[in-house]
Amino acid sequence: MGVVLAHFLPIISCFILAFSFYPLLNKIRKNRSVSGVSLLMMSFGVAQSIYFITYNLYFQRFYMVLPFIVTGMLSGLILYYFVRYNAARQQRMQLAGLLVLCVVPFTLLLSPTLDMATVLNWLTYVGLVMSSIRVMPQTYKTIKSGDISNLSARYFSLQFVAGSCGLGAELSMAAPSVSHILTFVMILLTNAAQLGCIQYYKSRPAMA
């Protein structure tokens, strides 16, 4: 049963993730703007996905690769829309610099004195840190500006459900990864907090 869940839940998570990004991408395309969306959140989404994809490919945890591929690709698509709709040349350079900085830890793999499996395990903890803080800039931006015009409650609620599936899949593994478990827990906590902020700002006009 555990093996079935470990294979089945990541696939379910992929579809949930795709559906979670759809309303957000639709709003961005409709408004032709990424105003209100934290680019740090999306940049970390791309970077952390690369860390976890590499780890899971190396250790042949192929089903667990799938959700991170979806997250990385769709986060990257939002960054593309940022470059297309909003970014001045300086902002594009800053975004490129941020993405390069995010993958600098991969240079540890070039060290002949470090074991690759150990380095990849370390990198998943870098991904954990990114996962832990990636939604925080979005939450801060929402609280500071009150701008939820491009934010979708469905995005964060489905991200929460996808995180639950990921956590269930990881716990069903024969040898669960601690960094993956902690990452999925942080996904649940941070998306719940952001969802709470969106619901609060949606209800404010009714309260006024």
Contact 140, 41 (CB under 8 A): no
Distance CA 196, CA 203 (A): 11
Q: Which of 40, 187, 177 is nearest to 120 (CA)?
A: 177
Confidence at 207, pLDDT banded by 50, 70, 90: very low
Cα–Cα distances (Å) from 51 to 57, 116, 189, in that order, read: 10, 13, 21
> What's the full length of the chain, in residues?
208
pTM of the predicted structure, to 2 decimals = 0.83
Residue 206 has pLDDT above 50, yes or no: no
- Domain with 89, as residue range(s), is 2-207
What confidence tens digit (pLDDT) does each residue in 142-198 have? 777 777 766 777 888 898 999 999 999 999 998 899 999 999 999 899 888 888 888
Q: Which of 96, 28, 41, 100 is nearest to 71 (CA)?
A: 41
Q: What was the pLDDT predicted at 100?
A: 85
How many distinct structural domains can be found in the chain?
Answer: 1
Distance CA 41, CA 39 (A): 5
Whose structure tokens read 């470090």?
A: 114
Q: Which residues contact 37 (CB under 8 A, 6 or more apart)?
A: 24, 28, 78, 82, 138, 150, 151
